[in-house]
Amino acid sequence: MQNKNFDPEQIKILGYNIIQEQISSPPEFNVEAIQYHGFHVDMEVNMEPTEDLLKADLRIEVVTESEGGNEEEAQAVFRIVYIIRIGNLANFTLEHKGDRIVLESELGNYIAAVTYSTSRGILLQRVAGTGLKDFILPVIDTDSILNGELNNPDQFLL
């Protein structure tokens, strides 16, 4: 890595696309019976350092856990792809591992934070009026997304 200090103002979201949006909210779903919302988030990053472009692909799964009153749980799956320009991206990549380029951790954390927080707002809008209307993606340590440790996907019905 040539430059130790990354300037977050070098991150420019060029656009995003919701490529999957599935919400299952049963007609007689009682939100008062919800005990908690389970969720899982995965992120995959692909980049083209010579063009300073990065694609962050976020998959978010949400399911309710109710105590009585609901025969079916409300659940959702979202997949949101972000296209991001990063000034001097090649300066913030580490050694190649096989056919993969590794992103420097500070920049990885910025990308995870920006895409996750933007997705929080998108989900708030999309789940309004459904059985998931009270769900807000919590504030998290972005390392958990990068390490694949943000909740266990085995607990979900999706």
5-57 pLDDT, tens per residue? 778 888 999 999 999 999 999 999 999 999 999 999 999 888 887 888 999 99
**Weakest-pLDDT range from 2-11, 102-111, 146-155:** 146-155
Please report the pLDDT score of residue 149 as a whole number: 58
Phi first, then psi, for residue 114 (nearest 5°) are -65, -45
CATH number of the CATH domain containing 43: 3.10.420.10
Q: Is residue 44 situated within a structural domain?
A: yes
Number of domains in the chain: 1
Judge whether 55 lies within some domain.
yes
> Do the Cβ atoms of 142 and 116 come closer than 8 Å?
yes
Question: Amino acid identity of 141?
Answer: D
Is the pLDDT at 154 greater than 50, yes or no? no
Q: Residue 57 to residues 24, 33, 50, 87, 102: CA-CA distances in angstroms?
A: 22, 33, 20, 20, 16
Q: Which band of pLDDT confidence, cut at 50, 70 and 90, is reported for residue 109?
A: confident
Q: Does residue 158 form part of some domain?
A: no
Mean pLDDT over the full length of the chain? 84
**What's the confidence (pLDDT) of residue 46?**
87
What pLDDT score does 79 carry?
A: 98
Examine residue 155 and state whether it is found in any structural domain, yes or no: no
Question: 86 in a domain, yes or no?
Answer: yes
**Residue 83: domain span:** 8-144
Asked whether residue 149 is assigned to any structural domain, the reply reads no
Percentage above 70 pLDDT, the chain: 85
Q: 93 versus 156: which is more confidently predicted? A: 93
**Domain-embedded: residue 47:** yes
Query: From CA 98, how far away is CA 85, in angstroms rounded?
Result: 24
Residue at 80 is within a domain: yes
User: What's the farthest any 2 CA atoms get from each other in the chain?
Assistant: 58
Q: What is the mean pLDDT of residues 59-67?
A: 94
**Residue 151 pLDDT greater than 60, yes or no:** no
Residue 126 region by backbone torsions, left for phi larger than 0, else alpha for psi between -120 and 50, else beta = alpha
Q: How confident is the model at residue 156 (pLDDT cuts 50, 70, 90)?
A: very low
